[in-house]
A = this chain, B = another copy of it.
């Protein structure tokens, strides 16, 4: 098999970690596989480099920031190759440009345009283990670019897609994708399989294990992913398009406390007002999550939406200053809520899922402020103080045998 592996910064934080990762790689190679390993910068390297830059110039150009930051993966890739050499296996480390990562010129958050895999294939053809510095590429000017935070995940998936790898394996400090946060919910269990869409919903809900861009790319190119523990190395969670056995109703229960809900009360019921509101917010790059519209009184309506707390102030200001229809209206912002969600493709064909969720909340006497549903997700907004209790109750309802 051709296996692309990805190791994050904490997996290669110090010499001992690097040696452990080298062992994982050479064990896989000894089993007869071709192995390409994409690696992030060690531990806090990237943050340290950014701090150094800020001390010299807090407004440094993104081009020079990319040249600086890409040194982090350069160092970790070389060190990992050295650890593999110490185990007496043939290995070569390649930088983003050497591994053929061509990107656009959006320094700091470049998109991969294509990967010329000839060098990687050539080295694999010589039976070498190939280490690739993640997070980086070059643009048409031969200048170094970086893919933005979490970009090494994208590097790994893109390389796996270009090489038609059999598997793209992400080594993490967790056993796989869990049905809930195990620190909060004692019955949390590991999922053996999950679809790309479920993975995306879980990621946006706060159970961030893989970068979303990477999951979207894996879905587009049908790259089979595996989330696996660096420590136990036991079978983890496979992420793929269609799951063979569909007996589980939901995949997981998550909470997100970074929620501001903004209410516009008694809005006149004129056409186009919703468009005006949300296009203005979009023009300020404010990401909106849930939107609810309710019939109000006397030909008016209420609009409520949620966003991350950091955007709340800018959103309030935008609404007040740039939309004349809202000038005299009551606009409220509330930071006391939390969003709890259940995710699972199985819900589509099981209309009872929402009822089960609400029942669990009712039994715990948790008040629901808002409800939003999609085909594979049900989210409720509730008091942040109730969030942990709610997650446990819902999890117990869907996975009763574990409690």
Contact = CB atoms under 8 A, between A and B. Distances in A.
A80 B74 CA distance: 19
Interface string A53-87: 10111011101110110110011011101110110
Contacts of A78: 53, 64-65, 67-68, 71
A251 interface: no
Instruction: Determine the main DSSP class of A at the interface with B.
Output: helix
Given A68-B74, A98-B142, A86 B56 contact: yes
8 contacts: A53-B78, A53-B79, A53-B82, A56-B82, A57-B83, A59-B86, A65-B78, A68-B79
A18 interface: yes
A192 interface: no
Contacts of A59: 85-86
A65 B70 CA distance: 17
A72 to B, nearest CB: 8
A82 B77 CA distance: 25
Contact of A64 (B18, B56, B85, B98): B85
Contacts of A52: 15, 75, 79
A83 B56 contact: yes
Q: Which 9 A-B pairs have the closest CB atoms?
A: A68-B78, A60-B82, A57-B86, A57-B82, A71-B71, A67-B78, A15-B55, A71-B74, A64-B81
A95 B67 contact: yes
Contacts of A258: none
A99 B82 CA distance: 27
Nearest to A70: B74
A104 interface: no
A49 interface: yes
A56 B93 contact: no
A375 to B, nearest CB: 46
This chain: copies in complex:
2
Interface of A: 15, 18-19, 49, 52-53, 55-57, 59-61, 63-65, 67-68, 70-71, 74-75, 77-79, 81-83, 85-86, 92-93, 95, 98, 119, 142-144
A41 B83 CA distance: 24
Contact of A75 (B63, B71, B95): B71
B49 A75 contact: yes
A15 B57 CA distance: 10
A70 B93 CA distance: 14
B49 A64 contact: no
Contacts of A18: 56
A63 B123 CA distance: 15
A134 to B, nearest CB: 15
Nearest to A49: B75
A258 B276 CA distance: 81
Contacts of A19: 56
A85 B71 contact: no
A61 B92 CA distance: 10
Contacts of A119: 142
Nearest to A60: B82
A142 B74 CA distance: 15
A345 to B, nearest CB: 44
Contacts of A82: 53, 56-57, 60-61, 64-65, 68
